[in-house]
Each structure stands twice: as structure tokens, then as C-alpha cells.
Structure 1
Amino acid sequence: MTILLSDILASGFGSVVGFVLALVGGGGSILAVPFLVYGVGVASPHVAIGTGTVAVALSALVNLGPHWRAGRVKWRCGAVFAAAGVVGALAGAELAKSIDGEKLLMLFGALMVVVGLIMLRRRGAVGDAGIRLTAATARHLLPRLIGAGFTVGALSGFFGIGGGFLIVPGLMLATGMPLAFAIGTSLVAVSAFGAATASSYAVSGLVDWRLAAIFVLGGLVGGLGGAALGRRLAGRKALLGQVFAGVVITVGIYVLIRGLTG
């Protein structure tokens, strides 16, 4: 594959990831690794994971602003969850680098299938919009936030994903906050997890910075289109979420089959 074709594919697949992130409010980063490996042709799964996490972290930072302005970010809960998760992400990333790349991809494919099935079954919840981490609530909130944050962070670092699809239910389970607030707050942790995992892979020389930049630029363009379409289809978010879950399952099965037959 020529460098020009590789750049075009990276930009195109980055646009798809950005489009999906903006359209359905998260989860698009789980497509980044298989896109980089099977679409762009990155030879090393570890380099694909390291490069993909750079795009994940930057995308989360870009999307955090609108949620913050809308008042849908619980900063204290997000900070504790993210701090515990960063420790887990670093541990998960170190463990992943010691595992054979093909086996890692098969595990990644299996996770995609499981996550897709969970997304299909997930239902909205009202929750408590007034929940806050204070001296009065710390006794029961802190242990839940730290435990859930570390677990989700470890999975995020191990598979090189932003983890938004795991962070959102993790925050809801730990605090009881509504879905809209969990989505906004999750971006604090996604940014932190992505930055931690990317740093770990970068230190090991497993990030293709040029490719990451092209992928991110494509994602910014795709994100604009996804946001515009999302505003027009605001009343059909549930259907869009189900369609995306189907895409995640399909790609996960493909990754599994490639790993078994490769």
C-alpha cells in the first residue's frame, strides 16, 4: 500500500469514527483499532492501539466542551473516577503489551461482540440529576467511584479504547446519575484514560504520530457532519444506538474470524 493511499484511508476511517462519535454520542472509538489494522493496513496491532488512543483522547476533549457548557458534567465524580481509572489504564496497557498481538485482537473482537449485545439491551434511566460528591456523600460514593473507575480504566488501557461505552454505565451504577450527565461526565475520564494509555504506548515507541494526526483531522471533519445529522435526527437516538450496536457486533465478529483463520 502506498503512503498516499494509506493517508487517504486513515483520513476516511477517521472521519467515520468522528461521524459516529458525534451522531450517537460515544462508542465510535471502539472502531478505531480494527479500522487501523484491517482498513489502513497498520501491521502491528500494538501500534494500531497506541495510535488509536491518541485520536480517542483528542476527540473526547473536543466533545467535552459542549457538555460542560450545558451543565451536564459532574466534575468531582468525573475527577475521582478518572484518577482511579488512569491507574487501571496504565496497568492494563502494560499487560496488553506483553500479549501476542493476534491474541490481543481476538480478545478485542470478543469484547466488541459483548459490548454490542449490552448496548442492544441497554435502556434509559431517570437517575438523580442532583447527585454530587460532597463530604456527606463521600462515604458511599468514593468506594464505588474508585472501584468502578479502576476496573473500567484497566479494560480501557488493555484494549486501547476510550472506554466511553463502559464509563457511562459505570458512572450510572456508581452514583445513580442520569444518562445525559453520565455521558457528559464520562468524557473527563475518556480524555484521561486515552492520554494515559497513549503515553504508555508512546514511551514504548508504539505510536505512529503522523498517522494519528491524519486520523484525528479526518475525525474532526466527520464529527461536524455527525453533529449536524444528529440534530436533525434527535428524536431517533434509540434507533441510531441500536444500529450502531449492530455495527459493533458485526465488526467484532469479523475481527474474531480474522483472528481464528489468520
Structure 2
Amino acid sequence: MDWLLLVLLGLAAGTFGSLLGLGGGIIVVPALLVMSDVVPSFAGITPQTAVGTSLLIMIFTGMSSTISYTKQKVVDMKSGFIFLAGSGPGALFGVWLNKGMETNVFLIIFGLFMLFVAFVLFIRNRLKPLPVKRTSIKREYITELGEKQEYGFSLALGLSIAFAVGTLSGLFGIGGGSLMVPAMILLFGFPPHVAVATSMFMILFSSIISSISHISLGNVEWLYALALIPGAWFGASIGAAINKRLKSNTLIILLRFFLIIIAFRLIWQGIQGI
């Protein structure tokens, strides 16, 4: 039963993470923490092991998503590698912050962050690119209809945001796409599908960097990871396919409600432990 639960959790995380460019950790980490409180067999999970295990799973989510999105020709690899120069060091900084954080403090902060992500998902479709006067990096995307969409970003601002994204990844075990995708759309003018795909490309590499650090600290539950990986891999492919065709907001609405409910659950769990 525990294995089936983990496989289904991996499937949900991979699907939603790939679909929205979030990475899936925003589902895996809180789910593991809640299960540690209500399911006896998961009682040994700590914030550190939940984060470390989640980041390992996101390597496979990111890889599967990137393969699918690359076939769709919507990954901006040049921008992705530039952002990685900021998110890589940020990921290591996040791991360092996570190392000494107490469980109850982590639960409250992570719960508040989940509420923020839910809010971002609420305004996601309302995001419109701001006029950018200076863009040192200029890019363009040709749609399937042959239309050219131009976008770009300041190198300094792009690296700064990527560093913050990497920090969130190492600290909370999430992809950081909840911050990166809106920034790409709102500040840099990325087409939404390109923003999501490029975010997953970044998540692949930043997760590798963070995972190596967490593995060295002994923060990975390997048996849980083995159960989560297959579902996450297939879920990521499903999410990428849905992203290409999705017109309805049904899945996003469901995820938003999930995040809000679990966020309050984690905050309450953290407050009770103080």
C-alpha cells in the first residue's frame, strides 16, 4: 500500500510539475511531510529527507519533461544555460540554509510559500509582459503557425532571479518554477509554453546540483525515491503532452485548491509543534 501511494504521488508530481513548469517538488515535499504525521510507516521523514528525496525525483521529472519539450521545439536552451549560471550557486546556498532548519520552522515557512504559489497560479493567466527598455539578451520564437515572437532580458536581472530560484530549490526541494515561470512571462516576455519548457530544462540541472549536496549529507530516502521515480517519469511526459493541448484551467484550479489545503495543514502542524 505504501509503495502504491508513493507511485501515485510521483505520477501526480510529475504531471503537475511538468504541466506548469514547477518541477513537482511543490507536491512531493508537503505530501511526504503530511504523511510523516498521519501514516506510521512514514514517521521517520524529516524536512531534510523530504527535500533531498524530492530533489532526486526532480532530476527524472526534469529529464523526462525536457526530452518531451525538446521534441516540441519549445526549450530555449541558450537562455536556460544562462539562467543556470545563477541557479547553480543559488541551489548550493539553499542546501546550506536547509541544513540547520528546525522542523516546525520549516513547516510554517514552507506552508506560507505554498500559499504564495497558489496565489501565483491564480494570477498566472492574467500576467502580461511589461515593456522592457534594455535587454542585453535578445531571443525569438517561431510558432507552429510561422509567427515570430521576440523577447529578451537583462543579464544581471536574469541571473539574480535565477539565483533566487536556485536557493528555493535547494532550501525547499522544489523546482523554483513558481517564481521563474512568472518572471519569464512578466519581466522577459517569454511565450508561456517556452517559459514552462525552459523552466523544466533549468530544473533538471539545478536539481542535479542540489541532489549531490543532499546525498552527501545523507538526506535521501532511497527506497521512497525508487517508488516515486517511475510515476514521476511518466507523469512528466503526460504533463508535457497536456501542456501542448491544454485550454481548460481545470487542472490548475485543482492544484491551487490542493496547495491551499495542504499549506494550512503544514502551518497548523508547525504551530502545534512549537
TM-score w.r.t. the length of structure 2 is 0.81
Cα-to-partner distance string for 1:63-85 (whole Å, 9 max, x where unaligned):
11121122211111110111211
Cα-to-partner distance string for 1:162-192 (whole Å, 9 max, x where unaligned):
1122221222345321111111111121112
Q: Which residue of 2 aligns with 1:12?
A: 8
User: For 1:202 and 1:110, how far apart are their aligned partners in 2?
Assistant: 27
User: For 1:140 and 1:198, how far apart are their aligned partners in 2?
Assistant: 29
Residue range with higher mean Cα deviation, 101-110 or 218-227: 218-227
Instruction: Give 1:13-52 correspondences, 5 Å limit.
Output: 13-22=9-18, 26=22, 28-39=24-35, 41=42, 42-52=44-54
TM-score w.r.t. the length of structure 1 is 0.84
Matched, 1:207 2:220: yes
**Bigger helix fraction:** 1
Which blocks of at least 5 consecutive residues in structure 2 are unaligned?
37-41, 140-151
Which blocks of at least 5 consecutive residues in structure 1 are unaligned?
none
Counterpart pick for 1:133 among 128, 132, 137 = 137
- Could you tell me the percent identity over the aligned residues? 27
RMSD: 2.9
* Number of aligned positions between the proteins: 252
Instruction: Give 1:164-183 correspondences, 5 Å limit.
Output: 164-183=177-196
User: For 1:83 and 1:27, how far apart are their aligned partners in 2?
Assistant: 19
Residue 124 (structure 1) shift: 5.2
Contact kept, 8 Å, 2:185 with 2:191, in 1: the verdict is yes
Contact kept, 8 Å, 1:126 with 1:179, in 2: the verdict is no
Instruction: Give the 3 Å change call, closer, same or farther, for CA 6–121 of structure 1 in structure 2.
Output: same
**Bigger strand fraction:** 2
User: For 2:153 and 2:21, how far apart are their aligned partners in 1?
Assistant: 29
Q: Which residue of 2 aligns with 1:217?
A: 230
Residue 45 (structure 1) shift: 1.6
Residue 47 (structure 1) shift: 0.6
User: For 1:16 and 1:251, how far apart are their aligned partners in 2?
Assistant: 15
Task: Give secondary structure in 2 for the equivalent of 1:73.
Answer: coil
User: For 1:24 and 1:34, how far apart are their aligned partners in 2?
Assistant: 17
